[in-house]
A and B are shown apart, each in its own frame.
Chain A
Amino acid sequence: MKKLVHRLGWPGTIALAVVLLFVFVGLFAPWIAPYPAQGAGAPNVLAKLAPPSADYWLGTDHLGRDILSRIIYGTRVSLTNGVLIVAFSLLIGLPVGLAAGYFGGWIDEALMRGTDVFLAFPALLLAVLMAAALGPGFLNSIIAVAVTWWPWYARLARAEVLVLRGQPYVEAARLAGVSHPRIIARHILPATGRPLTVQAALDVGPALLTAAALSFLGLGVLPPTADWGQMVDAGRKFFPARWWYSAMPGLTIFIVALAFSVLGDALRERKGGTVRAPA
């Protein structure tokens, strides 16, 4: 514990705890939520729009469902959203960046100019366009955001590879007759891992935020599945008189996004990690 605090600092440790808490809550939602059925979407019309109370800690929504339970169930959607967006982006961006940086020349030009096309659009606009074209839904919204996200990984991977490619030990492998795929697998990929994982950890927060924005616009998961962004949107009609409907999920988004970003910063600047290669 002491070691962890030393490595990440207090803000980073707290952020890590918050992130782990949400992961735990997401995993065990049916056991943690006070009203699991309502969390999953069952209406409860007897208690429509009830303010926060001992029975409903964070109040209820327009169908009388417990907001705390809805938020807990929404954690599953939001976290998988964030993680899957980053994973999909890595899946496309990493190979593109590796190939561009390693082979250089016209391959580099072709791949990176293609990447630039995606970067030329404002990210959220492109995501909205993609989501509108694909139609709402869980997987579609992830694909829509990942399309705007992967170019950053491609650029980052390319920059890392450009440095590595000139390293004498990579050159030595080439001169020893090692094939390109093997050099990439043995020398390039392991060394790009660290900066890319840090970037990925940093990005889960913003990715989840973008996904929430899409579902706020009605382009994310479909009701009755609980989703934070969608809850904020649904609560707008009752704002400010029934403030808790929008505010509670909104606050949750804020906390999670903040935790991921603080954790990302802490990871980037962490102390006492593995020793880096000299020079």
Chain B
Amino acid sequence: MSPAPMLDVRDLVIRYRAGLFAPRPKPAVNGASFRLEKGETLGIVGESGSGKTSLLRAILRLLPVESGTVRLDGQDWLALQGDALRGARQKIGVVSQNPFLSLSPRLTIAEIVAEPLLAAGARQGPALREKIAALVADCGLTADFLDRRAREISGGQAQRVAIARALALEPGLLILDEPTSALDVSVQAQILNLLADLKESRGLSMLFVTHNLKVVAHISDTLLVMRRGDVIEFGRTEAVIAAPAEAYTRDLLSFGRKAAAG
């Protein structure tokens, strides 16, 4: 038996509640199962409405789950409640789609990156400041940025800040929700390279959600394709891309190629 995977999801069903007397809607995620090994990157692809965001929000415990299990590093993740959950969230870093919306407009970069550290019990002071500067430097920003506010920096810089914040508590798992789709192409490449470097240097596992198959093929070890709530494909990236089992994946792939060619 190999060591416990970073994330082990089994038969996960998510269904949004309709009205009291409304018929039960089709589940947003219908029995998803997959594993993410330590130090690997899992790409989740699918068109909008495929359930990938619901799946992600459920793993982040922002949405209730109807049935199924999620194990994080061997621990029953769905059983945690209240303060235990709040503490355990340190194991997951999150970077969301729009960097400006995910950074408070009222705080400086230093305050934003300090937030998870302070929540985990760190004290204000020069040591904290140094740690923040180091984190921000790891993400390719100089210390000049620390006292700026989110609206004073560019999209790519803001996304670097978001990544620095996500890594502040040295999580084992980094969850990225379309981290590059709000950025222009050259900046996208920089952010992807940064993520690849960080994964290497920190031994991170990553869960990368995107609708852009080209990006995901570049960065992920395993690939999961979703469509209308169903997992239609899950396997090593090379295998899925070389021999897509489903017509839908072939469509996605050929669309990706066309986009790459065009």
Residues in B whose Cβ lies below 8 Å from that of A182 = 119
Pairs of residues from A and B, 3 with the lowest C-beta to C-beta distance, nearest first? A176-B116, A277-B105, A168-B102
Output the residue of A172, A186, A187, A276 with the most chain B CB within 10 A.
A172
Q: Shortest CB–CB separation between residue A48 and chain B, in angstroms?
A: 60
Residues in B whose Cβ lies below 8 Å from that of A1 = none
Contact mask for chain A residues 131-174; partner B; CB cutoff 8 A; 1 contact, 0 none = 00000000000000000000000000000000000011101110
Residues 76 to 120 of chain B near chain A (Cβ within 8 Å) = 86-87, 89-90, 92, 94, 96-98, 100-107, 115-116, 118-120
Task: Give 18 A-B pairs besides A190-B106, A277-B106 with Cβ atoms closer than 8 angstroms.
Answer: A168-B101, A172-B96, A172-B102, A172-B165, A173-B115, A175-B89, A176-B89, A176-B165, A176-B169, A177-B119, A178-B116, A179-B86, A179-B119, A186-B107, A191-B106, A278-B101, A279-B100, A279-B101
Which residue of chain A has the shortest Cβ distance to B111 in the bound complex? A186
Q: Shortest CB–CB separation between residue B192 and chain A, in angstroms?
A: 21
Are B101 and A275 in contact (CB-based, < 8 A)? Answer: no
Output the residue of B98, B104, B165 with the most chain A CB within 10 A.
B104
Residues in B whose Cβ lies below 8 Å from that of A179 = 86, 119
Residues in A whose Cβ lies below 8 Å from that of B87 = 177
Residues in B whose Cβ lies below 8 Å from that of A275 = 151
* C-alpha gap A88/B90 in the complex (Å): 40
Residues in A whose Cβ lies below 8 Å from that of B120 = 177
Residues in B whose Cβ lies below 8 Å from that of A172 = 94, 96, 102-103, 162, 165
11 pairs of residues in contact across A and B, judged by CB atoms under 8 Å:
A169-B104, A169-B105, A171-B62, A175-B60, A175-B94, A176-B89, A177-B87, A177-B90, A178-B116, A186-B115, A278-B151
Q: Shortest CB–CB separation between residue B229 and chain A, in angstroms?
A: 23
Residues in A whose Cβ lies below 8 Å from that of B101 = 167-169, 278-279
Residues in A whose Cβ lies below 8 Å from that of B94 = 172, 175-176
Contact mask for chain A residues 165-206; partner B; CB cutoff 8 A; 1 contact, 0 none = 001110111011111001000110011000000000000000
Output the residue of A179, A277, A279 with the most chain B CB within 10 A.
A277
Are A278 and B105 in contact (CB-based, < 8 A)? Answer: yes
The A-B contact count (CB < 8 A) is 69
* C-alpha gap A133/B105 in the complex (Å): 47
Given known A-B contacts A168-B101, A169-B101, A178 and B119 have beta carbons under 8 A apart: yes
Q: Shortest CB–CB separation between residue A187 and chain B, in angstroms?
A: 6
Which residue of chain A has the shortest Cβ distance to B98 in the bound complex? A168
Contact mask for chain A residues 264-276; partner B; CB cutoff 8 A; 1 contact, 0 none = 0000000000011
* C-alpha gap A177/B104 in the complex (Å): 16
* C-alpha gap A173/B89 in the complex (Å): 11
Residues 39 to 74 of chain A near chain B (Cβ within 8 Å) = none
Are B119 and A176 in contact (CB-based, < 8 A)? Answer: yes
* C-alpha gap A178/B117 in the complex (Å): 9
Contact of B103 among A169, A191, A276 (CB under 8 A): A169
* C-alpha gap A178/B86 in the complex (Å): 7
Given known A-B contacts A168-B98, A172-B96, A278-B151, A177 and B105 have beta carbons under 8 A apart: no
Are A175 and B92 in contact (CB-based, < 8 A)? Answer: yes
Contact mask for chain A residues 218-260; partner B; CB cutoff 8 A; 1 contact, 0 none = 0000000000000000000000000000000000000000000
* C-alpha gap A72/B35 in the complex (Å): 77
Residues in A whose Cβ lies below 8 Å from that of B62 = 171, 175
* C-alpha gap A44/B15 in the complex (Å): 80
* C-alpha gap A178/B101 in the complex (Å): 18
* C-alpha gap A275/B100 in the complex (Å): 14
Are B151 and A187 in contact (CB-based, < 8 A)? Answer: no
Q: Shortest CB–CB separation between residue A107 and chain B, in angstroms?
A: 15
Q: Shortest CB–CB separation between residue B79 and chain A, in angstroms?
A: 17
